[in-house]
Amino acid sequence: MHGTEAPSAWVRRWSHLVPTGGSVLDVACGHGRHMRWFAQRGHAVTGVDRSPEAIESVLPLGRAVRADIENGPWPFEGERFDAVVVTNYLWRALLPTLVASVAEGGVLVYETFADGNQSVGKPSRPDFLLQPGELLQAAAGLHVVAYEDGFCDRPERFVQRLAAVRKRPETPVLPPRYPLDATG
């Protein structure tokens, strides 16, 4: 059933970087697989999508906002979240806003299609495919903990993935430690 798919392995892997009980924004949330993942872990979740059906399906999980974030105003002006999660979605004009929406100590977890995907399927339009290093450039103001740019074979797709943290101003003398796995 649509909306019951497992959360992305990338999102699961880096969800331990979200502060305990922190607020999570799921951008282009669809039917809420990532909202569900974080809500089950005690996070306050917010989802945004332009589809009325998607918003209706995620209402029981937390805050649900119906908005066309490509053609209308950003509905979270002035708000910051402990995590901003984006998967399978790219609207370049929104990238600076998404990065700015990450609170101090918060994390941006992003995974979407990259150049090369046109050779294996959709999306295939350049508008929806990240160029090499583009996600790294977009997150330049954050501390990148993990980044991948490559090919996955199940299902076949080219992706870029990033997990990046906004440092707190009171950064200790020693560098902060961001575990590379949930057990580490």
- Kindly list the structural domains of the chain, giving each domain's residue range(s) and its CATH number in brackets, ordered by start: 9-165 (3.40.50.150)
Confidence at residue 184, expressed as pLDDT on a 0 to 100 scale: 45
Location of structure tokens 């918060």: 106
Residue 103 CA to residue 97 CA, distance in Å, equals: 12
Listed as ranges, residues in the chain with pLDDT below 50 are 1, 184
Would you call 9 helix, strand, or coil by DSSP?
Answer: helix
pTM of the complete model? 0.92
Confidence at residue 1, expressed as pLDDT on a 0 to 100 scale: 45
pLDDT tens digit sequence for 83-130: 999 999 999 999 999 999 999 999 999 999 998 889 999 989 999 999
Residue 32 CA to residue 25 CA, distance in Å, equals: 11
The secondary structure of residue 133, as a DSSP letter, is T
